Amino acid sequence: MDPVIVVGAGPVGLALSLALAAQNVPSVVLDEGAGKEETRPARTVVLRADMASLVERLGCTTLRDEGLRWVGWRSVRRKQLMRHIELRVTDGDHDTLAPAAPLHIPQHALSRGLRDAIATEDLIQIVPDSRLDSIEQDDRGVTAHTRGPGANWWRGSHLVGCDGARSTVRKLLGIRFPGRTAVERHAVAALRTELPWPDEAVLHRQPPWRGAGEEITARPLPDGAWRIDWLLPARGELVTPDALVSRIRDTLAGWCGETPPYELIDTGVHTLHHRLARRWRDGRVLLAGDAAHLLGAVGTQGLDEGLRDIDNLAWKLAHIWHHGPSDTLLDSYQTERRTAVASRLRAADQSLPVLRGGGGLRTYLPGSARGHDALLTDGHLGRGPLGAPPAYPHSPLAPPYADGQTPVGTPTGAPVDDVLVTAPDGTTVRLRDRLGRGRLLVVLVAPGTGVWERRHWMSAGLMPRLASAVSALPAKAELLVTEAYPGAPAHTVLLVRPDGHLAAAFEGVRPAELHEAADAVRGGVQVSTDSDRTADVN
């Protein structure tokens, strides 16, 4: 069968190819570049805990070697500490990081780790120096043509444009990309020095020293390195090297009392835009990552959202590749992800006038500073409307309501908690470790099972009937057991999508309702209404 064609070899495209390979789907990655990553220490990414876990499951080892999880968050306004959040959990004599601690890593290190993982995969082919110039599609697949040293025609079952903000795929499809330009501008420096808050991220608003600007962010990296961002006026003059060095020295002196020794590694100016593609799907061609959306102001994370795109899309493409076409599944990708990103953009755009409004009476209202601080903290730490993982309560894949359904601590459509579960082989693992394999997860809440050997409780109580129901589901599923789940009484059965979102929760074992819910999650009857389509070509 034809592979999936992935256009673009940035982190999103590379991660998509690995996510497909984990579900036995081959892919061809068309890389416009030469296959090497430019080393830019000042270009870094922040991954929320669940997306860092996704990347690690895909085999990327550089997160452990070259990334750093923040141990705390500080928010300062003028000279006052507004908020200090510990991201460490103390258990006796040992400190561990909180599950929600973000991970910070240079983007080139992330990409290199993904490429290293791809080098061990037989199902992925990366083709360098391949610039897309045409797309054609019919009811059986997609044909793409590339120009360059290895000009060629490529045939695939589907094509996914992960080719960035200037996406050729999006342009060939004639999809509009409206939004706002230069929402925020930042001067950026990567440097090695000692700051008073080892391994903690710092947001300093309205620093008291002259010429500091409105906002400075410091994010730690391994080996004593930091990325420091200075918020610039949206339309200001160019930042000269001398001016940037002056900012660095003044900022370090303001934080440390005097300018400590430092090694300047890299600099740049980062401009953030907010845009959202009108459509994310045209037949068998889809968009993901920066090709579909741009965001990043007030602490939101664009690459993190791009990884959420591929986490949502990969299992759906894999199911279609193995079991046949489903418009419902493909349409659900656009419905779920575009709605989630649109909500994130709307929250950021509504926050910007409040946070960047240029003063006025509202800056003197009681509580306004703390309200602004809470908004920015949410964006940077992945909480609230600016940063929390998305839920899909109105998904086309949501099962119909049944009498046996019961509420638990996780709302329907939201990501499940990463509880400890017992796997089929008897080992105890995190629930998140079982995701990304293209299978539904059926989780039984059974307090007390931890004190018994698995061979005893597998043949007792509800387990035989539940195991029989799981084996009869219309899609592959894995049966797991947990001692407890938030808000779930004993004998609750959770149905979890392959990307970790809760599809339904049931009181006890209900085979017919579980079967109906699983059928809804896989898109129901596999029917395609795709007609022959040809995109605009150069």
- What pLDDT shows up at residue 364? 36
- Please state the rounded mean pLDDT for residues 75-101: 81
- What pLDDT shows up at residue 357? 64
Report which secondary-structure segment, H or E, holds 231.
strand 225-232
- Residue, of 374 and 216, whose pLDDT is higher: 216
- What pLDDT shows up at residue 455? 60
Q: What percent of the chain has pLDDT over 90?
A: 77
Instruction: Give the pLDDT band (50/70/90) at residue 210.
Output: confident
Please tell me what DSSP assigns to residue 92: T
pLDDT score of 104 more than 90: yes
Contact 338, 396 (CB under 8 A): no
Exposure string of 97-110, with b = 16+ CB inside 10 Å and e = fewer, is: eeeebbbbbbbbbb
**Lookup result for tokens 């079967």:** 515
- What pLDDT shows up at residue 511? 96
Return mean pLDDT, the chain: 90
- What pLDDT shows up at residue 100? 82
- What pLDDT shows up at residue 83? 92
Mind listing the pLDDT tens digit for each residue in 329-338?
A: 999 999 999 9
Q: What percent of the chain has pLDDT over 70?
A: 91
- Please state the rounded mean pLDDT for residues 161-183: 96
- What pLDDT shows up at residue 360? 40
- What pLDDT shows up at residue 491? 94
| Cα 197 off chain centre by | 27
- What pLDDT shows up at residue 24? 97
pLDDT score of 42 more than 60: yes
d(CA 397, CA 518): 9
d(CA 469, CA 458): 14
Mind listing the pLDDT tens digit for each residue in 262-298?
A: 999 999 999 999 999 999 999 999 999 999 999 999 9
d(CA 157, CA 373): 47
CA angle 342, 520, 406 (to 5 degrees): 85
Token pair of 292, please?
A: 């579909």
- Residue, of 359 and 219, whose pLDDT is higher: 219
Other CB atoms within a 10 A radius of the CB of residue 353 amount to 10
Token pair of 476, please?
A: 């592959």
Instruction: Give the pLDDT band (50/70/90) at residue 95.
Output: low
Token pair of 152, please?
A: 């060629």
| Cα 88 off chain centre by | 22
Please tell me what DSSP assigns to residue 398: P
- Please state the rounded mean pLDDT for residues 117-144: 96
d(CA 22, CA 239): 45
Token pair of 443, please?
A: 């989780």
In terms of DSSP bridges, do strands 285-287 and 420-422 run parallel, antiparallel, or are they unpaired?
unpaired
d(CA 2, CA 27): 8
Mind listing the pLDDT tens digit for each residue in 446-485?
A: 987 665 566 656 666 688 999 999 999 999 999 999 999 9
d(CA 521, CA 503): 7
The 3-state secondary structure of 131-179, one letter per residue = EEEEEEECCCCEEEEEECCCCEEEEECCEEECCCCCCHHHHHHCCCCCE
- What pLDDT shows up at residue 533? 32
Amino acid present at 454? R
**Secondary structure class of 336 (helix, strand, coil):** helix
d(CA 387, CA 535): 35
- What pLDDT shows up at residue 372? 81
- Please state the rounded mean pLDDT for residues 313-328: 96
What phi, psi does 477 have (nearest 5°)? Answer: -145, 155
Contact 414, 391 (CB under 8 A): yes
- Please state the rounded mean pLDDT for residues 154-175: 98
**Secondary structure class of 443 (helix, strand, coil):** strand
Mind listing the pLDDT tens digit for each residue in 465-474?
A: 999 999 999 9
Mind listing the pLDDT tens digit for each residue in 511-527?
A: 999 999 999 999 985 43
Give the range among 258-262, 370-374, 498-502, 528-532 with minimum mean pLDDT.
528-532
Distances (CA, A) of 90 to 57, 71, 87: 26, 12, 10
d(CA 444, CA 422): 10
- Please state the rounded mean pLDDT for residues 81-100: 77
In terms of DSSP bridges, do strands 285-287 and 159-161 run parallel, antiparallel, or are they unpaired?
parallel
Cβ within 8 Å of residue 125, ≥6 positions away: 3, 26, 27, 28, 29
pLDDT score of 15 more than 70: yes
pLDDT score of 528 more than 70: no
